[in-house]
Structure 1
């Protein structure tokens, strides 16, 4: 298993505890990511949202790509998996900038391609927001352009969304034939696009049984395309404690939503509700999961180190390659997880 984590672009990842880790900032981000290399983490996911989806739209949110460029210069080994939303980036200019960041990082850049879900954010910034299947059509074309520019000396393209005439991207990314492209999605349109054009499939948190079924489905789709095997990752929230009772008490603390029953929920609740109504999910996303994003508590990485190690093994048996972890307070909990779960286990 490889271990990754969500970088604190919002300062923290719990929606109903606004002051859990303080405001987002470069100093704390840099310190955390540099330390994570030392204690065994393989990858950091840098989310891209210009409005703060977790703490409320008025709260700070670090820009993903300038942060990634800075982290590329101050880290040495960790994979930088940076989210990118095609409707926010002209693909040829993006391919040029991302190739440069990959060179700064020595070949450690990866993409997490996200077909935007948040209409309010797009319209706030004056950008196009496509309907569901159109979003994946745009993403597919966008990926064709970026991939062609990274592979070919010159690249021309004429499509529904983008047109290029003998465009050049030099230097190319160090990672050949291209940086790893991760993507997630649960609709048929998303899975079809990912199986054809991406290298790794990332999922919301779920049980080992459901993850095994999802991996089997994607393996079948990938096989029909005649392409090499994919990597598989999953989001999860972890609470490691010396006893089950301590871990469950912490889970209860972070999942209490203040003000909900009184009709005065936290600022981000309306954004969550809009996202819920704008997606096509295979199973209903429960409102009580609002406090932890990406269905992070469903994997049940909550308990003693031994219990969590057993759960990790179950996910390995299901075919999972990568865990994308959230924890809070992040610095302290990442240290604990490393000491009690990552380091005691053989690679």
Structure 2
């Protein structure tokens, strides 16, 4: 199976130690550009650009990176309720056209209640999913109609349009790929009906298998089939011992006060997925490797203080590749990885793990070795001066 490997653009800052300002970085345009160029050069298929008020705006970030990359695809959030479908279709089409088909969209139906209300959205979970379903239908209809230069009329519960028109159609037909993630039954039902790829946060293979089977079964009722992805952090080193040492170092500056404050905030979120992630650390009470390693080489330590994706694959390149294969065997073909700090870890993961993955092995300079204080190249095959 050909795999799609995405990296992550840290638009809310970056660091070497979770929960600490020591050796932290501001994600300004220069740094974001460095991460994107590295991912593009190294051969990642795309990058996830996060969303929320703690992040820089994902549409602006994606558009600013089009010109400094050549192959990289940008996974950008669509927020029903915060953005009108017709405007979202126009933005999507422009990004798709200007990037020559290098964009996909991540449907985000939930979030922090306080944040959503601060943005002007006052809906409960049921209303948000109803809104998201209508949003997708109208968004798709407007994009599809742009090829035939047709008008779109829509009269729904949450959205209404009269003679909606999109003059400039997208490159990807009938629309750019639409991703979506969610752990509730409402989320699974929405995924089964509306999206192209369902993506889960990094749970155990057993839990992921159950999710995939449920979404597949629901999709079949609608005569649909969809693809599957997973979102994970990764800590890979030359040896398993080094990787676990790096994992411990990442959380070495956390204390009870920081963990408790983070867990209190996370437990207020109206999200089944977040509830599952928080449970992996026993509400922040887990501390040891034995408690946080929830499945072989799947570590929940990041979830002590970070919302969203809380787990990391930890190990040598060979071990990490084996764990990736376990998820591939379940039917997953898209992986969205990240690591702290994101610039260095993008190189480390590509250099160590890509050669072990299908369709990611790069040609190497066979026999060439960098050596010497001035960076000279030496090889037994170098022509001799006569």
| TM-score relative to the length of structure 1 | 0.89
Bigger Cα displacement from structure 2, 30-39 vs 4-13:
4-13
Q: Secondary structure at the match of 1:117?
A: coil
Q: After superposition, give the CA deviation of every residue in 1:72-96 in whole Å (9 maximum; x if it has no partner).
A: 2332211111012112211111211
Residue 249 (structure 2) pairs with residue 253 (structure 1)? yes
The reply on whether 1:91 has 2:85 as its aligned counterpart is yes
Q: Secondary structure at the match of 1:346?
A: coil
Who is 1:8 aligned against?
A: 10
> 1:1-347 alignment to 2 at 5 Å?
1-12=3-14, 15-50=18-53, 52=54, 61-125=55-119, 127-152=120-145, 153-227=150-224, 229-256=225-252, 258-260=254-256, 263=257, 270-275=264-269, 278-281=270-273, 283=276, 284-286=279-281, 287-288=283-284, 289-297=303-311, 301-347=313-359
Q: Deviation digits for residues 248-300 of structure 1, max 9, x if unmatched? A: 1221222356342xx4558755542322xx22248434333233443442xx5
- SS of the residue corresponding to residue 268 of structure 2 reads helix
The unaligned stretches of length 5 or more in structure 1 are 53-60
SS at match of 2:13: coil
What's the TM-score, normalizing by structure 2? 0.80
Q: Tell me the distance in 1 between the aligned counterparts of 2:258 and 2:185.
A: 36
What's the Cα RMSD here?
2.0
Q: Could you say which structure has the greater relative contact order, defined with CA pairs below 8 angstroms and 6 or more residues apart?
A: 1
Q: 1:257 to 1:158 in 2, by over 3 A?
A: farther
User: Which deviations, in whole Å up to 9, do the C-alpha atoms of 1:288-347 show, x marking residues without a partner?
Assistant: 3233443442xx521111111111111111111111111011111110110110134332
Q: Highest CA radius of gyration, 1 or 2?
A: 2
Give the Å deviation of 1:160: 1.2
Tell me, yes or no, if the aligned pair for 2:110 and 2:271 is still in contact at 8 Å: no
Quick check: 2:111–2:271 contact (8 Å CA) kept in 1? yes
In structure 1, distance between residues paired with 2:178 and 2:255: 40
Deviations 1:42-97 (A, max 9, x none): 111111112x2xxxxxxxx3111111111223322111110121122111112112
Rate the CA distance shift 1:19–1:322 in 2: closer, same or farther, 3 A: farther
SS for the counterpart of 1:211 is helix
| Shift, 1:157, TM fit | 0.6
Aligned to 1:58: none
Compared CA separation, residues 154 and 321, structure 1 to 2 (3 A): same
The aligned length equals: 330
CA deviation profile, 1:105-139 (whole Å, cap 9, x unmatched): 101111100113211112223x1131111110010
C-alpha distance in 2, partners of 1:21/1:38?
24
Q: Once superposed, which parts of structure 1, at least 4 consecutive aligned residues long, lie more than 6 Å away?
A: none
Say if 1:254 and 1:291, in contact at 8 Å, map to a contact too.
no
Contact in 2 for aligned 1:233/1:322 (Cα 8 Å):
yes
Q: Secondary structure at the match of 1:323?
A: strand
Alpha-carbon distance between aligned partners in 1 of 2:76 and 2:260, rounded to the nearest angstrom: 28
